[in-house]
Each structure stands twice: as structure tokens, then as C-alpha cells.
Amino acid sequence: MNIALVKLSSIGDVVHALPVAAALHAALPQARLAWIVERREAAVLRGHPSLSEIVPVDTRGWRRARTPLAVAETTGALVALGRHLRASRFDVAIDLQGLVKSGVITAATGAPLRIGFSAAHCREGLNALFTNQRVAPPPVARHVVDRYLSLVEPLGARARAVEFALPTDEAADTRIGEFLMRVGLKPRDRLVVLNPGAGRPDKRWPIECFRSLARRLADEAGPAVFSAVGRLQPLLARYEAAALPALRAAAPDAPLTAVVEALGPRVVELPDEGPFLNVNTPADVAAAAQFLSRGS
């Protein structure tokens, strides 16, 4: 069986969807799993043990095409993608995104069975036009990870454990290790990463909420809290100016994917967009999920 997973972006959302690949691989070990994802987010999937193929796309670049050359290049990329998807002969496509653009790509796979959310549970209701088996997550599926996992149930798959397989990179691990030593942290110390890096102002969590969260974490769980902002250095200044408690230091000026690669299972990451990103969460800071989650 050939299965296509369609979850294009963004980095946090792709990480949230990782347990879907693990659940499918566990239930259908002979199945071939391909993940269609934005080129930037593909780094998070590199080397994933459950995936047979990563199919990178660049919908962001395609939408920016304005000049004749850019339009020609975009057209060529779309034609090549269509050919590749048809040649893959997918039996099943699962749309984890719930957008029109992900629906179009799901339909382009040519899979006879196309699973997605019911219109009421899609971010864009028209997405349901591109699927032919629609799932309404149960009321108990409050977290987005659980909602994603509900999409594999039509295939008889159920997650026995929620697994987040993240890539590893020796160079990134060395770099982050050196950084942690400089700020006085040990490899086994509990860490919480604040990522004030949402691209749109309307998706940024208020500073006051970060301040309250950091104080509660420091008082109740005692982890080290620091910010991973990468190239978004100006954003860090506004958090430092707000005297955010327990903010140890800025992470090295590295892409977020490199930070995630290096810190991996030692970290609970709390992105600025609000939803709790569970990366093999230590039990002693699991309470942060309820504090931060807004049902996303």
C-alpha cells in the first residue's frame, strides 16, 4: 500500500503531525509512506524512520511568481510534481492540513481513497471537496495531535504511543552543546524553549502570557527557560525589555530546525503561536501543556 501524507507547513504543525507517520508505520509496516511538505519544513522530516520518501514543494515560491521566468519555472515545477505523484500510484492520501491548497495536492495524488477532516473541522471548508472519506474527530480529541491521529483510524491504525521522531545532526548537537555549557546548563537539565518567532503579529502570544508561563514553570517545575529566536533577534529584545523571568539567554543564531535537531527529546518547546508542542515531554513539566494550550 502506498500512502501519501499531506501536511505542508508550518514547522510546529509538521512536528505535531509526526505521530501520524509513526502510527501508520506501526499498524501497516509494509506500507510505503511519503510525506508532501513545504521545502523549508522538510528539514524536520529528514531521516524519519517511518517515511519512505519526502516530497518537497514550494507553494510559497509558486504564489510569489510574477515575472514570465518565474511563472515558467513554477509551471514546470507543478508539471513535474503532478507526474511524480501519478507515477507513485498512491492508494491512500491523508490531508492533515485542511486547506484548499493541501486539498488540491491531495487530489493530485490520484489516490482512490482520500481521507480528510469533515468540512466543519477544516480550516477552510472547501477542502472537503477534495476528499472522499471525511472524519469528524471525537470530542475527546482536544489537542491537535489527537485530531491528526483520528485521520488514520479509517485505515485501522491506532497510536499505541505518541511518538515524535526528530532528525539528528552531529554538528548542530555540538553547537548547541557548547552553547548550553556557556550558559551553565548540563545535558540532563530540564529545558523549556520559548520561540517568539511567529511570522504574523496576530499569531504572536502576548508578552504577559509568556511572563506568567515562565514564572510558573520556574516556580513549579524548576527547568531552565531560554529563547530560541534564530534570525528573529529583534523579537528577543521585546521579551528581554519586558523582564521575562527565567529567560536564560538567546540560543545561537541558527535556524529553529537546527535547535530542534540538537535539543530533541530534552526539550518542551513552547512556540509563540500558542499551541503546546510536545516533544517527548518530561512528566515534571507536562503541566505546561494545560497552561499554554488554547485548544489548538
CATH number for the domain that contains residue 269: 3.40.50.2000
Q: What is the pLDDT of residue 257?
A: 56
- The residue among 106, 125, 155 that closes a domain is 155
Rounded Cα distance between 55 and 62, Å, is 16
In this prediction, the residues of the chain whose per-residue pLDDT falls under 50 are 229-237, 239-251, 265-296
Residue 120 lies in a domain: yes
Residue 104 lies in a domain: yes
Contacts of 70 (CB under 8 A, 6+ apart): 64
Q: Are residues 133 and 181 in the same domain?
A: no
Q: Are residues 54 and 179 in the same domain?
A: no
Contacts of 76 (CB under 8 A, 6+ apart): none
Q: Are residues 36 and 151 in the same domain?
A: yes
For residues 89-118, one letter each, b for 16 or more C-beta atoms within 10 angstroms of the residue's C-beta and e for the rest, the string is ebbbbbbbbbbbbbbebbbbbbbebbbbbb
- For the entire predicted model, the pTM comes to 0.76
Q: Are residues 124 and 260 in the same domain?
A: no
Q: Are residues 113 and 175 in the same domain?
A: no
Strands (E), the chain: 2-6, 32-38, 53-57, 92-95, 113-117, 133-135, 191-195, 224-227, 247-250, 267-271
Residue 164 lies in a domain: no
Q: Are residues 7 and 137 in the same domain?
A: yes
**Overall domain count for the chain:** 2
Q: How many CB atoms lie within 10 A of CB 123?
A: 11
Q: Are residues 47 and 18 in the same domain?
A: yes
Q: What is the pLDDT of residue 104?
A: 96
Q: What is the pLDDT of residue 189?
A: 73
Q: What is the pLDDT of residue 100?
A: 96
Span 60-97, pLDDT tens digits: 999 999 999 999 999 999 999 999 999 999 999 999 99
The cell numbers describing 6, all together, are: 499531506
Q: Are residues 135 and 242 in the same domain?
A: no
Residue 116 lies in a domain: yes
Q: Are residues 6 and 151 in the same domain?
A: yes
Q: Domain range spanning residue 54?
A: 2-155
Dihedral sign for Cα 79, 80, 83, 89, please. Answer: negative
Residue 161 lies in a domain: no
Q: Are residues 138 and 273 in the same domain?
A: no
Q: Are residues 281 and 220 in the same domain?
A: yes
Residue type, 134: R
